[in-house]
């Protein structure tokens, strides 16, 4: 791979920035510009030091890096000792048979016990664990003591249904407390769960059940989506009628009260079984390497992979990263991660990390715009959320709707914001910081994957001076690098492939049932090192900027162009809320850049006044040409109203590439809304 052309925002003047004091002197996190220029001329030139208030009380201090650098394995041992072990481990890492790592292998523990019981035993039974907000405005709360009763009951019910340690259980539920309870109940008996997003089709559910040979499904009669009760159990019935023969039992949560078909002997109502189930249940103590769950990747780049995570290492890193990166103060914070449990973020940063750390957290059933576009901000105000973790796509959508909407709510309880899923465009970062964070909250841009199990690269909120758009630094204990084609580290300022060079506790232990694909996908490109599949650049400070999937990199007249860079440039234009670019084959240049953009609502009038979509397209082409260079100018810019996104909010560029190359559109199984592709295709052929 030749050099990827990168435009990290101009003006992050490293020389100047490295002269900044480590601990910021400023009272709050207002942007700092070049000292010479004396004032903030271009906001995009700023770095954001952590507010001094924040620094003083921060969980993670600079010494954490020192500790990890001194002795990495000792560092991880010490993180693991934060958990409660039934049998303490004496081994830290066994890396004698790469790529199969074993962490803390001779220790035994239980993940559910660590997330629930031990907090009750320590006297925190009355602390609220879950603040459940339903879409229609109803709510429910569970203290840790109540959660302990519920998980014990469900573990007993699953046991009565015949689920044994080691059996796989599929979970197909909406974002309601029972989803969390179901995952923990499985963990309690050592039955690995496979959560399938509640919006997926019967076919997607069936193929995942079959791949994992699950013996039971936990589902609900239905779920609320945009104010409507939608059926859920019928999809299970359909999946089981077409295959999924390994399934013996179906546990059904009543949510909407809709009538459902019933298979006697197979289907069990949770509310009925719960009545007679005991609240006493002895957790099954498992080896640290016992599988905790299987989770299928979002399928952005191809067929979803069934990623396997184990118990001890995963929980260690989930707890540590959650506490350090989100600066969690268990007794005073209200934490909210907007991810669905169907996504890895919902596993690590709704269930296992926060609960292992005894957080009080919000879980929200519905969509951000039901019944109105201020719904999320209303929830922040209602529960006085202090730590908020979401995705760039959600931020850009809020940008599209306009800042007067969050402006109607009191967001002053917030003290930290997080982002995950894609690179956050600098423009969206600054909007998030200013509009949602009131200019006062550090933002953690967290890079990680289903495979890594936990956050790997991220600022530490009380330590790092943030650079909008960059995930910046591997967390203490993690070693990452950017390599060139030959497998050598690139120099600062250059781009290449992101790799992880040392094993980490929450690393995947494989792809379920496919050892060869595991080796080929992650370990063959650079032997001995984990290849993440993402392009990245090291800036002059050595900070890491994610550039998008290596599969999505475009090659125009021999120049490698990153999707992230061009998309960020488009989003930086006042008219644009979201952008996706792809390389479409082109006779003269090899590939040509094709851009799909969504306009901000407040810009639509301006665009009309400027001459409509065609004029807007020309203006945006010129804008990218000016910002990055003529080579990056999109050949075509298409204004659309939606982009194809996965359930976790990632843009599926491979489908846009199909459209741009006039091909049949590929597999849309994991798309949030498959009708989006028809609209885009029509728009594309109409514009030809
Ligand atoms: P598949 O592997 O099936 O294509 P996926 O990679 O989309 O699915 P995930 O594991 O949920 O599924 O996503 C991980 C990817 O998300 C990373 O490899 C990276 O491309 C992107 N990503 C996550 N967080 C960030 C971030 N903070 N900055 C940039 N990219 C990110
Ligand atoms: Mg991936």
Q: Please, which pLDDT band fits residue 410 given cuts at 50, 70 and 90?
A: very high
Q: Please, which pLDDT band fits residue 164 given cuts at 50, 70 and 90?
A: very high
Ligand 1 atom index nearest CA of 445? 27
Ligand 2 centroid, distance to 532 Cα (angstroms): 7
What are φ and ψ of residue 506, in 5° steps? Answer: -95, 20
Tell me: pLDDT of 679 over 90. Answer: no
Shortest-distance ligand to the CA of residue 550? 1
Tell me: pLDDT of 179 over 90. Answer: yes
Ligand 2 centroid, distance to 449 Cα (angstroms): 6
Tell me: is residue 534 an annotated ligand-binding position.
yes
Q: Please, which pLDDT band fits residue 687 given cuts at 50, 70 and 90?
A: low
Query: Are 244 and 210 spatial neighbours (Cβ–Cβ below 8 Å)?
Result: yes
Name the closest-CA residue to atom 30, ligand 1.
422
Tokens matching residue 677:
């592709």
Task: Indicate whether this model's pTM tops 0.85.
Answer: yes
Q: What's the pLDDT at 3?
A: 38
* Cα separations in angstroms, 673 against 644, 647, 649, 670, 679: 7, 9, 11, 9, 11
Name the closest-CA residue to atom 23, ligand 1.
421
Ligand 2 centroid, distance to 56 Cα (angstroms): 37
Tell me: pLDDT of 126 over 80. Answer: yes
Q: What's the pLDDT at 458?
A: 98
Ligand 1 centroid, distance to 422 Cα (angstroms): 6
- Find tokens 């970062």 and name the residue: 429
Q: What's the pLDDT at 681?
A: 85
Tell me: is residue 225 an annotated ligand-binding position.
yes
Give the span between the Cα atoms of 176 and 135, in whole angstroms: 10
Beta-carbon contacts of 195 under 8 Å, excluding residues fewer than 6 positions away, are: 170, 171, 172, 173, 179, 183, 293, 295, 341, 342, 346, 347
Query: Are 487 and 481 spatial neighbours (Cβ–Cβ below 8 Å)?
Result: no
Tell me: pLDDT of 25 over 70. Answer: no
Mean pLDDT of 532-557: 94
Tell me the pLDDT tens digit for each residue of 647-660. 778 899 999 999 99
Q: What's the pLDDT at 412?
A: 98
Give the span between the Cα atoms of 305 and 314, in whole angstroms: 18
Ligand 1 centroid, distance to 358 Cα (angstroms): 27
Tell me: is residue 557 an annotated ligand-binding position.
yes
- Find tokens 């370990």 and name the residue: 523
Range in 31-35, 133-137, 387-391, 487-491 the model is least confident about: 31-35
Name the closest-CA residue to atom 19, ligand 1.
422
Structural domains in the chain? 553-686 (3.30.300.30)
Ligand 1 atom index nearest CA of 307? 10
Helix (H, G, I), strand (E, B) or coil at 137: coil
Shortest-distance ligand to the CA of residue 646? 1
From 298, 522, 547, 551, mutation site for ligand 1 pocket: most ligand atoms within 8 A of C-beta: 298
Average pLDDT in the chain: 91
Q: Which residues line ligand 1 (CB under 6 A)?
A: 297-301, 304-305, 344, 420-423, 445-450, 471, 532-534, 546, 549, 648, 650
Mean pLDDT of 492-496: 96
Name the closest-CA residue to atom 16, ligand 1.
421
3-state secondary structure string, 462-514? CCCCECCCCCECECCCCCEEEECCCCCECCCCCEEEEEECCCCCCCCCEECCC
Q: Please, which pLDDT band fits residue 592 given cuts at 50, 70 and 90?
A: very high
Give the span between the Cα atoms of 258 and 174, in whole angstroms: 15
**Residue 360, Cβ density class (10 Å: 0-12 exposed, 13-18 middle, ≥19 buried):** buried
Q: What share of the chain is helix, strand, coil (3-state, %, to 5)?
A: 35, 25, 45
Ligand 1 atom index nearest CA of 301? 4
From 6, 211, 297, mutation site for ligand 1 pocket: most ligand atoms within 8 A of C-beta: 297
Cα(first)–Cα(last) distance of the chain, in Å? 32
Q: Please, which pLDDT band fits residue 44 given cuts at 50, 70 and 90?
A: low
């Amino acid at each position: 791979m030749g050099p990827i052309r990168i435009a990290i925002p101009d003006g992050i003047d490293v020389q100047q920035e490295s002269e900044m004091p480590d601990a910021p002197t400023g009272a709050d996190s207002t942007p700092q510009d070049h000292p010479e220029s004396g004032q903030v001329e271009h906001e995009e030139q700023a770095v954001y030091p952590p507010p001094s208030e924040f620094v003083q009380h921060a969980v993670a201090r600079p010494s954490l890096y020192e500790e990890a650098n001194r002795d990495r394995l000792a560092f991880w041992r010490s993180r693991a000792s934060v958990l409660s072990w039934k049998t303490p481990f004496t081994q830290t890492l066994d890396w004698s048979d790469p790529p199969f790592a074993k962490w803390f292998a001779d220790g035994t523990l239980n993940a559910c016990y660590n997330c629930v019981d031990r907090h009750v035993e320590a006297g925190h039974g009355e602390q609220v664990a879950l603040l459940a907000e339903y879409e229609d405005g109803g709510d429910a709360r569970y203290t840790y003591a109540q959660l302990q009763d519920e998980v014990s009951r469900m573990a007993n019910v699953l046991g009565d249904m015949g689920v044994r340690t080691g059996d796989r259980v599929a979970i197909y539920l909406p974002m309601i407390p029972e989803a969390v309870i179901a995952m923990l109940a499985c963990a309690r008996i050592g039955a690995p769960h496979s959560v399938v997003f509640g919006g997926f089709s019967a076919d997607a559910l069936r193929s995942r059940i079959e791949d994992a040979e699950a013996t039971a499904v936990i589902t609900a009669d239905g779920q609320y989506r945009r104010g409507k009760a939608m059926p859920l159990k019928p999809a299970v019935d359909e999946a089981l009628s077409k295959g999924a023969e390994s399934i013996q039992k179906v546990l059904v949560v009543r949510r909407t009260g809709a009538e459902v078909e019933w298979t006697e002997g197979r289907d069990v109502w949770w509310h009925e079984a719960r009545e007679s189930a005991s609240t006493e249940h002895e957790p099954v103590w498992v080896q640290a390497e016992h599988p905790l769950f299987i989770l299928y990747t979002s399928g952005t780049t191809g067929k979803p992979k069934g990623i396997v995570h184990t118990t001890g290492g995963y929980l260690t890193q989930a707890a540590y990263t959650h506490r350090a990166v989100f600066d969690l103060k268990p007794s005073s914070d209200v934490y909210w991660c907007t991810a669905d449990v169907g996504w890895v973020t919902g596993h690590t940063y709704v269930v296992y990390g926060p609960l292992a750390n005894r957080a009080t957290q919000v879980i929200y059933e519905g969509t951000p715009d039901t019944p109105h576009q201020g719904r999320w901000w209303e929830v922040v105000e209602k529960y006085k959320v202090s730590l908020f973790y979401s995705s760039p796509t959600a931020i850009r959508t809020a940008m599209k709707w306009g800042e007067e909407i969050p402006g109607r709510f009191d967001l002053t309880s917030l003290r930290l914001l997080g982002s995950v899923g894609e690179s956050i465009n600098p423009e969206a970062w600054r909007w998030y910081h200013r509009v949602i964070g009131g200019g006062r909250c550090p933002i953690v841009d967290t890079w990680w994957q289903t495979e890594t199990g936990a956050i790997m690269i991220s600022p530490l909120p009380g330590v790092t001076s943030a650079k909008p758009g960059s995930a910046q630094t591997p967390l203490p204990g993690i070693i990452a690098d950017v390599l060139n084609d030959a497998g050598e580290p690139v120099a600062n300022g250059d781009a290449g492939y992101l790799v992880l060079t040392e094993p980490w506790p929450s690393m995947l232990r494989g792809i379920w049932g496919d050892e060869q694909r595991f080796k080929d996908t992650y370990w063959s490109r650079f032997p001995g090192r984990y290849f993440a599949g993402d392009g990245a650049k090291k800036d002059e400070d050595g900070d890491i900027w994610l550039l998008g999937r290596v599969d999505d990199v475009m090659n125009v007249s021999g120049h490698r162009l990153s999707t992230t860079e061009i998309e960020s440039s488009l989003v930086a234009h006042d008219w644009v809320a979201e952008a996706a670019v792809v390389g479409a084959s082109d006779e003269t240049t090899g590939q040509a850049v094709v851009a799909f953009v969504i306009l901000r609502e407040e810009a639509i009038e301006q665009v009309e006044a400027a001459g409509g979509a065609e004029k807007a397209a020309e203006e945006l082409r010129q804008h990218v040409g000016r910002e990055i260079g003529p080579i990056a100018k999109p050949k075509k810019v298409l204004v659309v109203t939606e982009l194809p996104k996965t359930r976790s909010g990632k843009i599926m560029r491979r489908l846009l590439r199909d459209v741009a190359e006039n091909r049949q559109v590929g597999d849309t199984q994991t798309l949030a809304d498959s009708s989006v592709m028809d609209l885009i295709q029509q728009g594309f052929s109409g514009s030809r």
